[in-house]
A and B are shown apart, each in its own frame.
Chain A
Amino acid sequence: MTAAAEPGLHPEPPVDLHSAAAEQAHDIALARKDILRIATAGSVDDGKSTLIGRLLYDSKAVFEDQYEAVERASKGDYVDLALLTDGLRAEREQGITIDVAYRYFSTPRRTFILADTPGHVQYTRNMVTGASTADLAIVLVDARKGMLEQSRRHAFLASLLRVPHLVVAVNKMDLVDWSEAAYEAIRDEFTAFAAKLNIPDLTVVPISALQGDNVVTRSANTPWYEGPSLLHHLEHVHVASDRNLVDTRFPVQYVIRPQSDAHHDYRGYAGRVASGVLRTGDEVQVLPSGLTTTIAGIDGPRGPVDEAFPPMSVTVRLADDLDVSRGDLICRPANAPHATQDLDALICWMTDEPLRPRQRLAVKHTTRSVRAMVKDVGYRLDVNTLHRDTDAVELGLNDIGRVTLRTTQPLFVDDYARNRATGRFILVDEATNATVGAGMLVAP
């Protein structure tokens, strides 16, 4: 951040707005794009930071002063792009990465939000956090080492969170002389492993993050590889159909009542469409009351809209004056979620104090918060072998297991596999207020 402050430097001249570069930049900046959310997993040695640095640098998300700072700090023959993702001072001092960091870059087609999750400390908690919002996960594998325990673990966690697309980046291909056999061995082993998990879309790309091969453009070093470069895949992977547009679920977040002269009778239910499509005129049911009515209108950020779909934030007006409040859910009468006080879920536990039967916790599910008691720990899952330990009686920090809970009030739930938005919840410790667990509901 110091480049501009060096004495003797002068301000850069103004940009020539009529230059070809400025016109191109303008067109790219104003193009309509969509967002792809990515989670990356890996540890210090597999080149994850270098890969992210490469994506940021080659997509021009890195600014000159950042690059110069990294250039000065680099020690070897190459500019160490890994330093671009260098974190907090506390992390540099201890040589560790503490937490999930978010990075941003864009191309003319898409903008990317990348959750960079550290691989070693608190890996499960961090990976689960990063993967929770991801459309796509990138798992790095060192071509020299092949598939390691942690590669399996990362792939498993991505599948547990139902990240729809997985990319395995076989890195350091330059160090195995661009061996097709090395790539194929890893690809085949990973494909076989992925078949046991819920991974609907797997892509395996041979790369060298250090030299940039197959990261942005296809490399001449891998003539045998017929797939896309990593960035090309990220730009083109089809994510629109990943959303559930079938089951209409609208958790009411907040009731808007202006109580002003201009909008005397306005009463709108604000929220984010969790799944499905809402249309003006649709017959809907409100839970928990079960009463039915029709949608009189939908207001979006720019005024009335005919329909609303995920992830839109809108305000729904109903034809009848019903008693609806935060935590209620609007759905279609013939397609309602399961109302239940018994939750059966896979839980990722995120705090030192173990989860045990009879423990009381707060549950936040969509916009509804209730209290719950742990009834039973069914099994603990070994994330490396996928073995189920049915003798387990508690879950420790970073453990994942099958747990049943009983809530004080009914929740309106779907199976996480069918509906990520209504199949998930968090657990909060009522004494410390800390978020201590993430839950994914298993079909009743």
Chain B
Amino acid sequence: MDKKTKILVVEDEEILLTALTEELNQEGFEVVGAKDGIEGVEKASQEKPNLILLDLVMPRLDGIGALKQMKENSTTKDIPVVILTNLSDYDKISDALSLGAMDYLVKANYRLEELIQKIKTVLERKETGAGPAAPPPPPASK
């Protein structure tokens, strides 16, 4: 690749957005940030990134809402989306995957190598046209 891979990070937690931006920059990606769902949808169609990291719980427009809008828009519908979640919320992750998200990352305690690996796999799968990752196992009953 001669051009840098562009990643859009949609995350409302300022410190996390800063950290992810810096980390991905260091790994050689070009990073665009967005602070909520609405900004995320706008940036997705303006910047046409190669991949979107999308938080689920956000003010104004949450991740699920943003994902729906991205998938409805012809310019953004083919951009692979990786869900960032802190909730370990089985239902929401399943929703996102069925809406067309490619994979998910539980962002608390994420390791950078894990994130980079996910990004690479998703981009490869995107090229080969493989489907999304398997949904997470249902939570163990109490």
Real binding pair: no
| Chain A residues proximal to chain B, CB less than 8 Å | none
- List the interface of chain B (C-beta within 8 A of A): none
